[in-house]
Amino acid sequence: MLKLENVSKFYYNKGIIASGFTKVNLELKIGEFVVITGESGSGKSTLLNVISGLDSYEEGEMYANGNETSHFSEKDFEDYRRKYVANIFQTFNLVNSYTVYQNIELVLLLNGYKKRKVKKKILDIIDQVGLTKFKNTKVSKLSGGQKQRVAIARAMVKDTPIIVADEPTGNLDSESAKEVLEILKRVAKNKLVVIVTHNIEQVEEQATRIIKMHDGRIIQNTEIKRISKEPEAIESDYNNISVFNKYRLGIRNTFNIKSKFLLLFAVFFFMAAAILAEYSSFQMSEKEQSDYGYSVGFRDLSENRILVNKKDKTSFTSEDFDKIKELSNVDYIVEDDVTIDGGIPISRGDLSLHGNMLDIKNFKGELDYGRMPESDDEIILKIRNDHFYIEERMDDVLNKTFSILKSQGINAWSNETAGEVTIVGIETFDDVNDYDCKFYVSKSILNQFRADINKNYSEMKILLNDKYVQFTIEPNEYVEKGKAIVDDELKYQFKNYRIINKPLNIYVKNIYYNEELELSISNTYTKYNIKRLTGLDKYDNNRFKIFINTDDYNSLYNKPTHQSSVYVKDAEIIDETMNQLDNLGLNPKKVTDFKVNQGETSQRIIKIIKVVVTIILIIVLFFISYIIIKIILKSRNVYYTTLRMLGATYKNVRRILDIELFINSTISYIGLMLFIYCTKANIINLEYIAKLSEYLTYKEYAIMYLVIIVISRLISIKFARKIFKNSAINTYNEEV
């Protein structure tokens, strides 16, 4: 079966060559029970390792079943061990966290057997070594003799023609040693059994050949019992481990040692958390820079805002708004869009607030002070929490009545009062980039100021006596509908000063509509009759104004809504919502498209730094994690080296390790996602973590998960290469 011709083994260490054994000539047959003995350092264990294919040799030739092995690569020796050799190790090399059954099953799974087909075979072997009642007991709870029986059973179940055992009785008491040798003797009837021992007396009864070594040479080769006819060496039948069994072992290894699982969970958890925290911090900085922008026409530049008008330029109807609200990503609609960007001031004594008017029905926040409005003239104020009025003058704001100033054009306001409101509720916010307030008011107040807001965005022309004149139009309840009262000075533009009943046309034009109002002049006012005609006391303040009926005035500006703002729930899918709005016959525009970005250069710098730092962080975390995981898996080195000795290839070991680390990293990432969810849901009160998470999208979470998986895969590859860097026995000796 085995034949060695002038075989030598040398070791190289720091330039020094040492001999394991020299010029060994030996022929061993199936059916022999060969005992190799000698003092420590004589080379007997080295010879056993070469015979078993766990170690290579440098000189001579070893024949296995008639085949030369001197040209064997490590892959060839793996095949050799799987076909011909089963090992029984001095230190047992069992998986302590596995049961007796699982330890024996392991070698069969690695050699391609299917789980359902090996149960009877395993139970028979367990019965042969007398461990039936311990089949479901973890190996860590067995005695030394019982562990050695498991090791023998594992070697027997592999059913190879050669069994090698290194000091199989070295750690056993005399009774256990005797039982182990009896088992090995029974096995040797149709196999070649080669054992190494110091205690020759224990094995003399079983031995068919005794080999004694000294200083790397065989000094005695005594054949006690001749094998007249050598039985045929039947190679072990094996296949590659199935994908299913790889996953079975990977899953089993993930959870079989709780402390290892928890430590790996912590490593992957904090690694993923570090990458996400770093990346989201840059995202937050980038977002803050993108917010440093302005627009001439729009005050609210929220990324959730979409401007909409109808493609046919007509006004919105209630049916239009109902269709928009049915879209899944729509949060709410501001029907009177112009109230958002008009910037209306309210004042009270030395206090003045400037902000946008919004419909009270769109208020979705929570009040920090006060109560909800109960009447049309009560409003809610939304203001920054660090505003001076909030920190120092709260009593002068809450439950106090403010005057709304009247418009005199775009962002121009007179000292005249257009109405009064009382602030009964206050919501605060902490956006450092938002300096404006927001006034949540009733629908009636919004309607009251629609004409003034629309006026800011319209061009008005007054045609009198075939000439355009520059006068101010003022609504007045004293004026008859369809009529106008003008300054007496205008009569000089007419022949014979006949101005009464002359036509006066007013034209209003904006991007949505053109309106013409045809009036006739009913009277002229002077300082003597202005109070009688208009109810006003001061003539000088009202010179060169044209007074018309209030309803006529409203007909110019109080028009149905032509432009609205749609606010979406999720800005990440705003483009999808815009497509849906387009299908409804609307022209959608993101308000951010009109923003001039002041922080564009800073954004570019942050993006570059973000990419560079993220790559560096991932590389650093990879090496740190590998070092930590290597320490955690130190106890697993022996396990994976044992897999190699039992027949697992590099690819198999790496795949099992891949699966183990994949499961660990995935569970850790799921744990991190649950942790982030709890912070966002305020189950765990970590406000900063919750804020950071807002700057990450589902896509980025997915990418980060893939990064963690790739890191775990690279760690697996690096770790597996270490296991297969040297010969199997050298790797094993390094670990133990």
As to burial, measured by CB atoms within 10 angstroms (0-12 exposed, 13-18 middle, 19+ buried), residue 392 is exposed
| CATH 3.30.70.141, domain 2-239, yes or no | no
> Can you tell me whether residue 13 is helix, strand or coil?
strand
How do residues 357-368 score in pLDDT, each as one tens digit?
888 888 888 999
Query: Per-residue pLDDT tens for 179-196?
Result: 878 888 887 778 899 999
What are the CA-CA distances from residue 468 to residues 432, 460, 462, 464, 678 (Å)? Answer: 47, 10, 5, 6, 67
Residue range 573-587: average pLDDT? Answer: 94
Domain boundaries, the chain: 2-239, 246-287+600-735, 293-337+561-597, 338-455, 458-557
Supply angle C-alpha 675, 681, 687, rounded to 5.
Answer: 75
SS3 readout for 396-418? HCCCEEEEEEEECCCCCEEEEEE
Coil, helix or strand at residue 27 = strand
Per-residue confidence (pLDDT) for residue 139, from 0 to 100:
92
Pick among 2.60.120, 1.10.600, 1.10.10, 3.30.70: CATH of 293-337+561-597: 3.30.70
- Higher-confidence residue of 478 and 543: namely 478
Closest CA to 228 of 461, 3, 30, 449: 30
> In DSSP terms, which residues pair with 421 in a beta bridge?
402
Question: Residues 276, 280, 281, 283: what is their CA dihedral angle, to the nearest 10 degrees?
Answer: 150
Nearest one of 174, 176, 175 to 148, comparing CA atoms: 176
In angstroms, rounded to a whole number, what is the distance separating the alpha carbons of residues 137 and 100?
6
Q: Which residue has the tokens 């461990």?
A: 131
User: Distance (Å, rounded) from C-alpha 191 to C-alpha 613?
Assistant: 62
Cα torsion through 549, 552, 557, 558, rounded to 10: 100
**What pLDDT, in 10s, does the model give residues 115-163?**
888 889 899 989 988 899 999 999 999 988 889 889 888 988 888 899 9
Residue 253, token pair as written in the block: 């290894």
What pLDDT does 210 receive?
Answer: 93
How many Å apart are CA 336 and CA 444, to the nearest integer?
12
> For residues 647 and 641, what is the distance between their CA atoms, to the nearest angstrom?
10
Longest dimension (CA), the chain: 153
pLDDT confidence band for 291 (50 / 70 / 90): low
Indicate the pLDDT class of residue 408, thresholds 50, 70 and 90: low
Element (H, E) at 203: helix 200-203
> Using CA atoms in the order 441, 508, 410, 597, what is the torsion angle rounded to 10 degrees?
90
**Predicted confidence band of residue 678 (pLDDT cuts 50, 70, 90):** very high
Name the least confident of 221-230, 486-495, 544-553: 221-230
Exposure pattern of 217-252 as b/e (b: 16+ CB <10 Å)? Answer: ebeebeeeeeeeeeeebeebebeebeeebbebbbeb
Q: pTM of the prediction? A: 0.58
